[in-house]
């Protein structure tokens, strides 16, 4: 049984025996004229599933024993991985090693985050505009529980706004504290229903109930995180976990746009860089069978990912090495000419 609390003018407690949770019936509709959901309409779901943990970094206390264990593990793992991360992410890298470790990460999570479970025209309408109806996900790339949510988003073929929250974040972690009340990840905001929530397992269940059209998560997606979910974090030596010390402190005026899918080894390397630079972006998922494949082909002439669009400089790039060079040159505190 799971307990669902609706934070409004006064706290009300509900209980549910439905493992998918009937979130939509309890949520308030948010204003479609703004980008943020009022904290007064927050919906918090606490799962009794011990595997539905969340990675929490900071002073906020955990909601569950699994969350506490994850926090303790990360507090030890983070400094250790930093020793092996290769230092400054903007410097020239060993491409063979980069691709090899990212490919091992893909193998560790091979069944999940590579294909869409949706069926063509049955998916959401696609738009290049910065639509207020896109879901907003606060996360960081190295977090295994954030990865679980991103895998679900790939399966559901959703386009979302990603707000990276690396360790040392100067913008987005404060937003999470202000909007949700604590610094815990992942944190999801759905402007379509007025729901905002923590806990990765509950987020996945909510997404499939709200946007899955009767489908269920792939077998093992929820259960596998504590077994293989940490492997990409370890193989990648903590890339996508810490804010780059030379990152530009102010955000760009427009969000970047990335065509990607969760388990692509080259796209992973780009998402790590976007996280380390704390650059908000629109994630256009194009897993196998995605309805966005045609959009990608129309733009690029190819199905290959990653593909980055930066409306701030009218730049479009498709090679991951060129994307890395562009991002670290353009969005450092003292950018170099690209």
Q: Would the pLDDT of 289 be above 90?
A: yes
What pLDDT score does 334 carry?
76
> Which one is predicted more confidently, 226 or 37?
226
Q: Would the pLDDT of 63 be above 60?
A: no
Q: Let me know if residue 18 belongs to a domain.
A: no
Q: Would the pLDDT of 56 be above 80?
A: no
Rounded Cα distance, 202 and 77, in Å: 25
Residue 25 near residue 19, CB atoms below 8 Å: no
Q: Let me know if residue 190 belongs to a domain.
A: yes
Work out the average pLDDT over 274-291: 96
Give the pairing of strands 195-197 and 187-190: antiparallel
Q: Let me know if residue 11 belongs to a domain.
A: no
Rounded Cα distance, 36 and 132, in Å: 9
Q: Let me know if residue 113 belongs to a domain.
A: yes
What pLDDT score does 239 carry?
92
Strand order of the β-sheet with 2-7 is: 11-16, 2-7, 42-46
Q: Let me know if residue 125 belongs to a domain.
A: no
Q: What is the pLDDT of residues 102-133, one digit of tens each?
A: 999 999 998 899 999 875 444 444 444 334 48
Q: For tokens 């229903």, what's the residue?
A: 193
Rounded Cα distance, 42 and 37, in Å: 8
Which residues make Cβ contacts (< 8 Å) with residue 125, sequence separation at least 6? none
Q: What is the pLDDT of residues 4-40, one digit of tens each?
A: 333 333 222 222 333 333 333 333 333 333 344 444 3
Which residues make Cβ contacts (< 8 Å) with residue 114, sequence separation at least 6? 154, 261, 262, 263, 264, 287, 288
The tally of domains found in the chain comes to: 1
The alpha carbon of residue 212 and the mean position of all alpha carbons in its chain are separated, in whole angstroms, by 18
Structure tokens at 270: 């780009």
Q: For tokens 């990212």, what's the residue?
A: 102
Work out the average pLDDT over 58-77: 46
Q: Which residues pair with 256 in a beta bridge?
A: 281
What pLDDT score does 28 carry?
34
- The mean pLDDT value of the chain amounts to 78
Q: Let me know if residue 270 belongs to a domain.
A: yes
Q: Let me know if residue 8 belongs to a domain.
A: no
Q: For tokens 């679900």, what's the residue?
A: 152
Its domain, for residue 303, covers 73-82+89-118+132-331
The alpha carbon of residue 68 and the mean position of all alpha carbons in its chain are separated, in whole angstroms, by 21
What pLDDT score does 79 carry?
57
Q: Give the CATH number of the domain where residue 273 resides.
A: 3.40.30.10
Q: Let me know if residue 145 belongs to a domain.
A: yes
**Strand runs labelled E in the chain:** 2-7, 11-16, 42-46, 135-139, 159-164, 187-190, 195-197, 256-260, 281-285, 307-310, 315-317
């Amino acid at each position: 049984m799971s307990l669902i609390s609706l934070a409004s003018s006064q706290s009300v407690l509900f209980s549910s025996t439905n493992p998918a949770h009937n979130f939509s019936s309890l949520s308030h509709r948010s204003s479609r004229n703004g980008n943020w959901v009022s904290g007064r309409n927050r919906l918090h779901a606490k799962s009794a599933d011990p595997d539905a943990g969340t990675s929490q970094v900071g002073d906020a206390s955990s909601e569950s024993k699994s969350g506490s264990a994850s926090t303790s593990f990360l507090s030890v793992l983070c400094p250790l991985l930093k020793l092996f991360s290769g230092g400054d992410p903007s410097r020239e890298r060993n491409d063979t090693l980069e691709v090899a470790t990212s490919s091992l990460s893909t193998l560790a999570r091979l069944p999940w985050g590579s294909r869409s479970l949706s069926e063509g025209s049955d998916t959401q309408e696609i738009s290049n505009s910065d639509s207020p109806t896109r879901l907003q996900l606060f996360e960081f790339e190295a977090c295994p529980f954030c990865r679980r949510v991103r895998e679900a988003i790939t399966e559901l073929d959703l386009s979302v706004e990603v707000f990276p929250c690396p360790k040392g974040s100067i913008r987005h972690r404060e937003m999470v504290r202000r909007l949700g009340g604590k610094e815990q990840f992942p944190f999801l905001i759905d402007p379509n229903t007025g729901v905002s929530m923590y806990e990765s397992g509950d987020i996945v269940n909510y997404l499939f109930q709200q946007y899955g059209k009767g489908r269920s998560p792939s077998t093992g997606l929820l259960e596998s995180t504590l077994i293989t979910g940490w492997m990409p974090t370890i193989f990648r030596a903590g890339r996508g976990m810490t804010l780059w010390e030379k990152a530009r402190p102010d955000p760009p005026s427009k969000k970047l746009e990335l065509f990607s899918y969760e388990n692509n080894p080259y796209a992973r390397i780009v998402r790590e860089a976007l996280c380390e630079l704390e650059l908000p972006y629109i994630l256009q998922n194009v897993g196998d069978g995605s309805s966005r494949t045609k959009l990608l082909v129309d733009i690029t002439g190819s199905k290959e990912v990653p593909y980055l669009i930066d409306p701030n400089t009218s730049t479009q790039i498709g090679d991951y090495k060129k994307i890395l060079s562009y991002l670290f040159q353009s969005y450092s505190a003292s950018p170099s000419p690209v």
